[in-house]
Amino acid sequence: MALAEFVAVGFGVAYILLAIRQHRACWIAGGIGTAIYAQVFLDAGLPMQAALQVVYVALAAYGFIAWRRDQGQAAPVRRWTIARQLLALAAVGIATAVSAPLAARYALSAAPIADSLGTWASVLATWLLARRVVDNWLWWIAIDTGLAALFASQGLLPTAALYLAYALLAVVGWRSWRRGTVAG
């Protein structure tokens, strides 16, 4: 499965670089890479991450359509209030509190809490990216750092390296997008 992981990493790098530039093709690269990662994570004993990849494919289609309205021009990005951030954090916490015990009880995951937390936070952050909320990058810095540790613990070293690179690139994305923010 190592070849599939390396191919998925390549599409992942293309995705993040294109997303930073707000290029619509990021969603195509992301959709392909996540489709491959679904099997990689399933084989690694991370079913929540595998299921997340299927959700990512759907979110890639949504992002591709949502960004179509811009007709090649980057739309303005917006910021979320602290209240919205806290509400989102609470939602991720509740979803994790529900799914992690189930994953542990039925021995579905090698790391039920980390797998669940990473999954739900990633769903939120991807939705924020598709909606062009600049704060998605702050979420990704935290998520990608944690997921890198999870993937390393499962022997997915190329993927762990990719996620550390994602965390660093998320800093670049945040700085880049922050220049074009509007209130919202």
Say if residue 7's pLDDT is above 50: yes
As a whole number of angstroms, the distance between CA 86 and CA 19 comes to: 25
As a whole number of angstroms, the distance between CA 18 and CA 24 comes to: 7
As a whole number of angstroms, the distance between CA 120 and CA 162 comes to: 19
Average pLDDT, stretch 26-33? 95
- Share the mean pLDDT of the chain: 88
Exposed, middle or buried by CB within 10 Å (0-12, 13-18, 19+), for 85? middle
Average pLDDT, stretch 100-106? 86
For residue 70, the model assigns a pLDDT of: 55
Identify the band that residue 69 occupies on the pLDDT scale cut at 50, 70 and 90: low
Identify the band that residue 73 occupies on the pLDDT scale cut at 50, 70 and 90: low
User: Global pTM?
Assistant: 0.80
Residues written for the chain:
184
Average pLDDT, stretch 130-143? 92
| Residue pLDDT, tens place only, 79-92 | 889 999 999 999 99
For residue 91, the model assigns a pLDDT of: 97
Q: How many helices (H) and strands (E) does the chain have?
A: 7, 2
Name, in order, each residue with C-beta under 8 angstroms of 61's C-beta and a sequence gap of 6 or more: 27, 31
| Residue pLDDT, tens place only, 12-24 | 999 988 988 888 9
For residue 74, the model assigns a pLDDT of: 58
Average pLDDT, stretch 127-144? 92
Q: Which of these, 127, 118, 140, lies nearest to 56 by C-alpha position? A: 127
